[in-house]
A and B are shown apart, each in its own frame.
Chain A
Amino acid sequence: MQRTARAKPNWPLRLYSPIINVEITTKLRIDGHEYRERGNYASEGEPTIEADTSHNQDLNDNPKTESAGGYGSILSYAGNAAAAVGDAYLNNSIAGKALGALGLLALAGETTLGTTFGDGQENPSSAASMAREMGTFQRSQEGSGLNKAAEDLKANTATGVEVGLSALPGATAFEVGQALHGQDIAGREATTWTFLGVIAGIFGFKKAGAADEAVEETAEAAGKFGASRKAGAGQTADAVRGLGGRILSVAEKAEFEDFAARAQKLGLTQNPSRTGSWGKIVDGKWKEIARIDVAEAGKPGFRGKTHIHILGIGDHLPPNTPLPGE
């Protein structure tokens, strides 16, 4: 295939190309004359892609997420009640103080739960930010970023269960404390407080379970969202093979897809290593029948003009040129 002898060319063109963010001097030497140009040709780096945040908004507005936060708040009230009851005994006896401390522990637990679920509400935005950052460098990892958020939410769920369970000991603390100090309180009042304490504990426990379920569902939704984003990323980034990892605009993607539809009608398959190149396997080799080179904005020559090639090489043809068989 090599068509020329390796005679030393007598017309050297010398280039110093740029490295990332380094000012360089470009030199062109032609027939003994040297031309220089200084400038910063900083690398553009990896192309960025704007994450579709509409889904993130959906997650923020997810009623399950809000419910989780609401349950967390309710649970805090339950903890408050249990703590208040325990606190009522703080000055009565050592046992009362201990039991009151348990109530305070429950309060702290429930407050933590509320905060945790509050974070859960924010996690989707954090996930979006994470996805955007990751997407900047590795778009295919967007899904992973959101899946990570889902994992975080699941971890929050575990915390929620633990904290929710602490509501019951808080209420139980009151009940026991009430029994211990019942002699100091009128029977009717003791019964009332005991009843309220138990209700608070059960209420907290049940709500913890409900919150748990809600967060699980939120986590699942986040996971599905992450998976869908991963699939979406696959359509826009992973599916582009070759082309220097080029990121396609919507219009560019449409040009590739239109061409793909035409090629598929002719029974052609896409080159497994290059988007926009369509052909078939002949004698164990993949033969390109038609290829579209979609214009890159701002580029000169045919690199900046959409065209197609028939049979792998040759003229730069308008995109509407009939393909073999059309």
Chain B
Amino acid sequence: MTAILLQHLDYLHDAEVHLIELSISESGSRLLRINLRGDPECGFEAWNNKNLWIDFVDPLIVHCDLFGHMSNPETLGSWDFKGTARLSASIAMMTESGLPAPKCIASLSLNSGSQIEVACQEILIREEQVKG
């Protein structure tokens, strides 16, 4: 089960993206949250047509190029655990000031061309059945 854990994320290809938000609580904690629905034939049965919440906890940096020019639904193209040189430079800039280094780097490419890359402390993936 664990051996394929990270590979599971490849099965999010073509998942419909419904929400991208940066949540800021009253206490000041941040959360980058993405809601998507697994493609009905994504290849990983547990996520087929499942509603998924992905929380990027305590993000240090989020780089986004989000395009809103399309009329089609948005879908996820790929998810990778790597960042661009630009993200690395930003992380270096932040950590040199004494801030703790992030534990996670992830980059998401959406099929509209939108790109999200995030450096954070933790990633949570939660699943629930699509209602109705």
A residues at B contact (CB < 8 Å): 1-5, 7-20, 22, 24, 26, 28, 35-37, 41, 43-46, 137-138, 241-246, 271-274, 277, 279, 282-283, 285-288, 291, 293, 296, 299-304, 309, 311-313, 315-316
Contact = CB atoms under 8 A, between A and B. Distances in A.
Given A4-B130, A13-B127, A242-B77, 5 more contacts: A9-B126, A9-B127, A17-B106, A283-B71, A312-B72
Contact of B109 (A20, A242, A291): A242
B5 A28 contact: yes
Contacts of B67: 273
A38 to B, nearest CB: 10
A243 B127 contact: no
27 contacts: A2-B18, A3-B37, A3-B130, A12-B125, A12-B126, A13-B126, A16-B123, A17-B123, A19-B104, A26-B6, A28-B5, A37-B5, A43-B81, A46-B84, A244-B109, A273-B113, A273-B114, A282-B71, A285-B70, A288-B72, A293-B13, A293-B14, A293-B111, A299-B13, A300-B7, A303-B11, A312-B75
A184 to B, nearest CB: 71
Contact of A244 (B51, B80, B112, B123): B80
A134 to B, nearest CB: 12
Interface string B1-13: 1110111001101
A293 B37 CA distance: 19
Nearest to A316: B41
Interface residues of B, number: 63
Contacts of B119: 19
B87 to A, nearest CB: 10
B2 A28 contact: yes
Interface of B: 1-3, 5-7, 10-11, 13-14, 16, 18-19, 35, 37, 39, 41-44, 51, 53, 65, 67, 69-73, 75, 77-78, 80-85, 88, 101-107, 109-115, 119, 122-128, 130-131
Contacts of A301: 10-11, 13, 42-44
Nearest to B37: A3
A309 B14 CA distance: 10
A313 B51 contact: no
A2 B122 contact: no
Contacts, number: 190
Given A242-B112, A313-B72, A316-B14, A5 B127 contact: no
A20 B82 CA distance: 7
- Listed from nearest, the 5 A-B pairs whose CB atoms lie closest are A273-B113, A312-B72, A301-B43, A274-B113, A242-B113
B112 to A, nearest CB: 6
Contacts of A7: 128
Given A4-B35, A4-B51, A46 B85 contact: yes
B131 A4 contact: yes
B43 A311 contact: no
Contacts of A272: 69, 113
Nearest to A137: B85
A46 B86 CA distance: 11
A299 B109 CA distance: 15
A43 B105 contact: yes
Given A303-B13, A313-B16, A17 B73 contact: no
B82 A45 contact: yes
B1 A1 contact: no
A15 B75 CA distance: 22
B76 to A, nearest CB: 10
Nearest to B91: A19
Contacts of B41: 302, 315-316
Contacts of B84: 46, 245
A35 B10 contact: no
Nearest to A15: B123
A288 B81 contact: no
Contact of B75 (A244, A273, A313): A313
B35 A2 contact: yes
B123 A274 contact: no
Contact of B83 (A9, A43, A300): A43
Which residue of B18, B111, B128, B130 has the most chain A CB atoms within 10 A of its CB atom? B111
